Amino acid sequence: MRWEEQLSRAGWRITMPRRVVMRVLERAARPLSPQEIHARGRRLHRSLGLVSVYRALMVLERAGLVRRVHREDRCDGYVLASPGHHHLLVCRRCGRAVEFPGAEDLSGLIAQVERRTGFRVEDHLLQLVGLCGPCRDL
């Protein structure tokens, strides 16, 4: 399914900022911060504002089209998301982010956390950090 279809099925319109953000992320080799997306997006559409980029990212994330990547410098990045529940592997040297399917062997851990804390867990984000193949060989 094309992203435009996925977005409209989720009940959102296809606007210029959403289209530009998707085009920028489709060409990106690593997660990009909203500022980086804005800088690249302005080359495609000069009137693109930073606030529109933030809003577009929020909508695209809720529609499951982009995924937020936590970076240690507190400046979160965004990558395209494949459909379904995935987790992320992030290389701490080159910043490359790779998705892997959510193999849900977390249920034991989650049940334990619920027992200990009294929380009802509804969702989780999992991001593993390490070195990718090429960076390990450096």
Residues that bind Zn ion (CB under 5 A): 91, 93-94, 102, 132, 135
The minimum distance between CB 109 and Zn ion, in angstroms, equals 11
Q: Which is nearer to Zn ion, 13 or 103 (CB)?
A: 103
According to DSSP, the residues that pair with 127 across neighbouring strands are 88
Q: Which amino acid is at 111?
A: A
The minimum distance between CB 51 and Zn ion, in angstroms, equals 32
| Pair 124, 114: CB distance under 8 Å | no
Q: Which is nearer to Zn ion, 4 or 104 (CB)?
A: 104
Annotated binding site for Fe cation: 85, 124
The minimum distance between CB 124 and Zn ion, in angstroms, equals 6
Q: Which is nearer to Zn ion, 49 or 102 (CB)?
A: 102
